[in-house]
């Protein structure tokens, strides 16, 4: 990608983000509100558009929004399933609990993608991401039922990683 197209992508993403924020704040689709928003978005883009984060133009890709829309119910399914699992472990005394900290490896490279993966793991009851060290995540897990590193990675990281890769990378 050339420098000129990267600069245009940053400016376009900045303009769209500012205009969308303006429209969300006013929540009126009157021509005066839209024109004022375009005016201020253009001024802000002209002043700070070059400092807008690189790669943010990927946010405008509709395919990424499609995968994000798929990810939300997918995540909610695993979150509800984990809630029920933790509730059963709390209520029933015979269900085993073997807590511990495990190290799992991710193939995600972007910082934002790894942050979303860590948050998805943390928001799922029974797991808590403690640290991210390069490609490794340290996760506190309520029940370590396997000592095999690959099976742990598949169970903790494997369910979220493919969709997050499509969204962020």
Architecture of the 62-168 domain: 2-Layer Sandwich (3.30)
CB 41 within 8 A of CB 18: yes
Give the domain ranges of the chain: 3-60, 62-168
- pLDDT per residue as tens digits for the range 148-167: 878 888 888 888 999 999 98
54 φ, ψ (degrees, to nearest 5): -70, 145
pLDDT: is 150 or 78 the higher one?
78
The residue to which tokens 């500012």 are assigned: 18
DSSP letter at 53? Answer: P
pTM over 0.85: no
Of the pLDDT bands very low, low, confident and very high (cuts 50, 70, 90), residue 51 is low
3-state secondary structure of 158: coil
Asked if pLDDT for residue 36 goes beyond 60, the answer is yes
- pLDDT per residue as tens digits for the range 111-148: 888 989 999 999 888 889 999 999 999 999 888 887 88
Beta bridge partners of 137: 104, 132
CB 153 within 8 A of CB 135: no
Residues of the chain above pLDDT 90, percent: 28
Question: In 10 A of CB 148, how many CB atoms?
Answer: 9
Of the pLDDT bands very low, low, confident and very high (cuts 50, 70, 90), residue 53 is low
């Amino acid at each position: 990608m050339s420098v000129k197209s990267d600069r245009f992508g940053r400016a376009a993403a900045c303009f769209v983000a500012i205009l969308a924020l303006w429209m969300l704040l006013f929540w009126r689709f009157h021509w005066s509100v839209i024109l004022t928003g375009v005016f201020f978005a253009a001024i802000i883009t002209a002043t700070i558009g070059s400092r807008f984060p690189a790669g943010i133009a990927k946010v405008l890709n509709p395919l990424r929004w499609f995968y994000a829309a798929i990810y939300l119910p997918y995540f909610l399914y695993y979150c509800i399933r984990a809630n029920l699992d933790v509730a059963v472990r709390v209520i029933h005394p015979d269900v085993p609990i073997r807590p511990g900290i495990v190290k799992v490896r991710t193939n995600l490279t972007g910082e934002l993608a790894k942050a979303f993966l860590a948050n998805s793991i943390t928001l799922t009851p029974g797991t808590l991401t403690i640290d991210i060290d390069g490609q490794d995540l340290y996760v506190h897990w309520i029940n370590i039922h396997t000592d095999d590193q690959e099976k742990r990675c598949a169970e903790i990281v494997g369910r979220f990683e493919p969709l997050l890769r499509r969204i962020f990378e």
